[in-house]
Amino acid sequence: MNPYKTAAHGIPRHESAAKVTGKALYTGDFSLPQMVYGMMIRSPHAHAEVTDIDLSQAEKTEGYIGALLPWEVPDTFYNCSGNPPSPLLMKDEKILTAHPLCVGDRILAIAARTPQALLKAAKAVKVSYRLLPSVHTIKDALKADAAPIQPHLSQNNILASREASAGDTEKGFEEADYIFEDDFHTSAMQHVAMEPTSCICDFTDGRKLHIWSNSQTPYQERRIMAELFGMNENDIRVVKPVMGGGFGARQQLHNQPAAALLSKKIRRPVKLINTREEEMYASVVRHEMQTHLKFGVTKEGILTAFRTEYYLNAGPYTTHTPTIVAAASRKFQYKVPNYLFNGYSIATNGPTAGAFRGYGNAQLTFGRELMMSRIARKLHLDPVEFRLRNHVQAGEKFPAASAAVTSCGIEKCARRCQEIRREIDEKEGLAHNEEIRQAWGVSFACHGSGPSSKEGMSSAVILANDDGSIHLMTGSADIGQGSETMLSQIAAECLGIPFSLVKITAADTGISPYDTGTFGSSQTYVSGNAVVLACQDIIQKLVHALSDCYGSMDITFGEDKKFHIPSKNQHLSFQEAAGQVFFGMKGAVIMGNSSYKAQESPNPFAVCMVKAEYEKKTNSIILRHVIEVVDVGTPINPLTVIGQIEGGIGQGVGYALTETLEHNRRAGKVISSDLLTYRVPLISDMPDIHGEYIESFEPTGPLGAKSVGELTTVPVAPAIADAVSQASGREINRIPLSESFFIKPNKK
Q: Which residues sit opposite 130 in a β-bridge?
A: 49
Distances (CA, A) of 671 to 45, 217, 652, 681: 13, 31, 22, 18
Last residue of a domain, one of 595, 612, 639: 595
Residue 586 lies in a domain: yes
Q: CA 164 to CA 670: how far, in whole Å?
A: 35
CB 196 within 8 A of CB 275: yes
Residue 603 lies in a domain: no
Q: Which domain holds residue 494?
A: 455-595
Sign of the C-alpha dihedral computed for residues 141, 92, 95 and 321 taken in this order: positive
Residue 566 lies in a domain: yes
Say what the pLDDT of residue 456 is.
84
Could you give the angle at the alpha carbon of 531 between the alpha carbons of 525 and 534, nearest 5°? 140
Closest alpha carbon to 378 in 301, 451, 294, 431: 301
Closest alpha carbon to 28 in 195, 153, 167: 195
- Strands (DSSP E) found in 298-333: 303-315
Last residue of a domain, one of 595, 623, 646: 595
Residue 533 lies in a domain: yes
CB 233 within 8 A of CB 223: yes
For residue range 498-548, list pLDDT tens digits in order. 999 999 999 999 999 999 999 999 999 999 999 999 999 999 999 999 998
CA 364 centroid distance within chain: 16
List the CATH number of the domain containing 586.
Answer: 3.30.365.10
Under DSSP, the state recorded for 500 is G
CA 67 centroid distance within chain: 34
Residue 625 lies in a domain: no
Three-state secondary structure call for residue 478: coil
CB neighbours of residue 548 within 10 Å: 13
List the CATH number of the domain containing 77.
Answer: 3.90.1170.50
Low-confidence stretches of the chain (pLDDT < 50) are none
Domain count for the chain: 2
Residue 628 lies in a domain: no
Distances (CA, A) of 439 to 46, 622, 722, 736: 42, 11, 9, 19
Residue 434 lies in a domain: no
Say what the pLDDT of residue 386 is.
99
CB 552 within 8 A of CB 566: yes
Residue 229 lies in a domain: yes
